[in-house]
Amino acid sequence: MYGRKSVGRILSIIRMSVLCALFSVLFLLLTPVGLQSASARVYLCPEPLPHTKVLRSSPRYHLCDDGIWRRTPDTPPHSAFSTSYNDPHFHPNSGLASPLCYLRYSGAFHDHEPIVLLPGEPFSAEKTAVPDTSSAAVCCFTGDIMCFRGQQFEASTKHGFDFWPSYRLVAGIFNKADFVCGNLETLLSPSNPLTKDRKTDDDGTPLCNGPVELLNALRKAGYDMFVTANNHSCDYLAEGIVETKKNLNEYNFANTGTSYPDGQPGPIGNFCIFDVKGIRIAILSYTHLINRRDKMTPEELDTLVNCYDYGNIRRDITTAKAAGAEFVVVYCHWGIENTEEITNYEILDSVKIAEAGADLIIGSHPHCLQSGRFIETSDGRRVFCIYSMGNFCSSMERVFNNDTVILRLELERDPSGSINSALSYIPCRVMSHGSCSHVVVPIEPELNGGLSDKRLEETDERISLIMEKIENGTFARYSGQQAK
């Protein structure tokens, strides 16, 4: 069909195409770091890491060289890339074979497009954004972030998992706040079965392990940090803890409550400190309860998980204050599941924690909302403790498992330098909305886009009754403009 000359031309074109392609590949491989500039190194990555295709927003805070988390200067609301420098087992200039495993692609993904990743130097305290102290620092705290079978099945897509619909209605609240923290009550361990594939251990013990894609939705929602000491911390033993911490660190989420096997809890102590509008806030996390405790050695438990110990809590609070903390928040995993009853040991322990120097105590584990109390300390402080904020998001089916609140804390420095605080709460319900069965919906129409629903009215009544039981003080409700 073709003459000999035509065939020769075709073969020549093919050879030239192959040579051009090989030359391009060799150019990228032989160039030490791709493209160079005075301030940044640019890497061309041929393919993304697994489970990292849908992250859409960048972290607001980065860990600085002095161990304090500070606001990233000029952080855009949606960035193409997310990097992490808070993993003590990794340094971006450590000469590892590839820095790409510690960087997360966070934009729209297309197989045919190269991904440009921009690692930088560790953040310097002197180069972070100057904190805006013209208004109060607003912090939001939430209860249990679960990732049960029902949530995983519903979030499953042909490309992985998408949990964003569950959190989209609270993203506006969180992104207007200056700092957001919650209790992450699931492992994120790719080496172990997901909860949807293995719900319980052989002896019936629940096993909680979610896909790493959950962090994409939580980042987009506005979370900055998670506490990780809870009864599911050891569901997949040391491996589960280590992989969960590595994933949190790679996504640049601050976290405390569990540690690496080498016993290094953090750069400056067993806590995290955030500089929020010029006020330094310490977050600590402990648990009374641990599933599968019998499968861990005492040494592993002591090293990997912040088990409740009053002496350790007092030491950690003292260390945090010596490191500059001006307001101390302690999460404690305790109590009895599925009841509003508050145990005597919780009451006694909350008093001890307050006397040790905590300024706010947040309980978790019961999977339902419980009341709280203001504790008068011997040094004249009033410390609020809410014994359980319930599930912030889960697929548990009982009515009371789906009532929850966002705790809103405002901190402001007065002319004398003292820190004044104001607390309020935002009532929410986990319910079906649109195409998703597990959506966290704020009750106030001003906060949920004008949504009105009989289920929200009923939830409002239940939550109000619980919050009215708070002892030794009143607790304001936040309506979108001011507490009422």
Lowest mean pLDDT of 124-133, 202-211, 230-239, 245-254, name the range.
Answer: 124-133
- What pLDDT, on a 0 to 100 scale, did the predictor assign at position 24? 59
Tens of pLDDT, residue by residue over 68-81, are 999 987 554 433 33
SS3 119: coil
Decide: 43 and 246 in contact? Cβ < 8 Å.
no
* For residues 35-58, average pLDDT: 36
CA distances from 39 to 23, 103, 119, 120, 404 (A): 27, 18, 10, 8, 46
Least confident of 77-91, 124-138, 393-407: 77-91
pLDDT of residue 268: 81
Q: What percent of the chain has pLDDT over 90?
A: 68
> Which of the residue ranges 40-44, 115-119, 177-181 has the most confident prediction, judged by mean pLDDT?
177-181
Instruction: In whole angstroms, give the CA distance from residue 367 to residue 2.
Output: 76
pLDDT tens digit sequence for 468-482: 999 999 888 998 765
Options 3.30.70.20, 3.40.50.300, 3.80.30.20, 3.60.21.10; which CATH number does 137-477 get? 3.60.21.10
> Domain spans of the chain?
137-477
Tens of pLDDT, residues 12-44: 767 776 676 666 555 544 444 333 333 222 222
Res. 6 pLDDT band, cuts 50 70 90 = low
Kindly state the average pLDDT of the residues 154-166. Answer: 95
What Cα–Cα distance (Å) separates residue 137 from each residue in 23, 55, 276?
Answer: 54, 27, 6
